[in-house]
Amino acid sequence: MNIILLLFVILLSGFEAEALSYDYSANVECLAHPQKPQYNGGIIKNPELNDGLQGWTTFGDAIIEHRKSLGNKFVVTHSRNQPHDSVSQKIYLRKGLHYSLSAWIQVSEETVPVTAVVKTTKGFKFGGAIFAEPNCWSMLKGGLIADTTGVAELYFESNNTSVEIWVDNVSLQPFTEKQWRSHQELSIEKDRKRKVVVRAVNEQGHPLPNASISLTMKRPGFPFGSAINKNILNNNAYQDWFASRFTVTTFENEMKWYTNEYAQGKDNYFDADAMLGFAEKQGIAVRGHNIFWDDPQYQPNWVSSLSPDQLNDAVEKRVNSIVSRYKGQLIGWDVVNENLHFSFFESKLGQNFSARMFNEVHNIDGQTTLFMNEYNTIEDSRDGLSTPPTYIEKIKEIQSVNSQLPLGIGLESHFPNSPPNLPYMRASLDTLRATGLPIWITELDVASQPNQALYFEQVLREAHSHPGIQGIVMWTAWSPQGCYRICLTDNNFKNLPAGDVVDQLINEWGRAEKSGTTDQNGYFEASLFHGDYEIEINHPIKKKSNFTHHIKVLSKDEFKKTKQFIQLSI
Give the distance, in angstroms, between the CA of residue 377 and the centroid of all CA atoms in the same chain: 10
Cβ neighbours of residue 320 under 8 Å, at least 6 residues apart?
364
Confirm if 533 and 216 have CB atoms less than 8 A apart: yes
In 425-497, DSSP assigns E strands to 439-446, 469-474
- The neighbour count for residue 240, using CB atoms within 10 Å, is 12
127 closest CA partner among 112, 140, 114, 143: 143
Phi, psi for 44 (deg, rounded to 5): -75, 135
327 closest CA partner among 373, 271, 368: 368
Question: In b/e form, how buried is each residue of 65-103, taking b as 16+ CB within 10 angstroms?
Answer: eeeeeeebbbbbbeebeeebbbbbbebebeeebbbbbbb
122 closest CA partner among 162, 154, 152: 152
What letter would DSSP give residue 489? Answer: B
- How far is the C-alpha of 13 from the C-alpha of 506, rounded, in Å? 26
447 closest CA partner among 475, 478, 423: 475
Taking each continuous run of H as one helix and of E as one strand, the counts in the chain are 11, 27
**493 CB-contact burial (10 Å; exposed 0-12 / middle 13-18 / buried 19+):** middle
Query: What's at 462, amino acid-wise?
Result: E
What letter would DSSP give residue 240? Answer: H
**Active site residues per annotation:** 443
> Angle of helix 452-465 relative to helix 497-506, nearest 10 degrees?
20
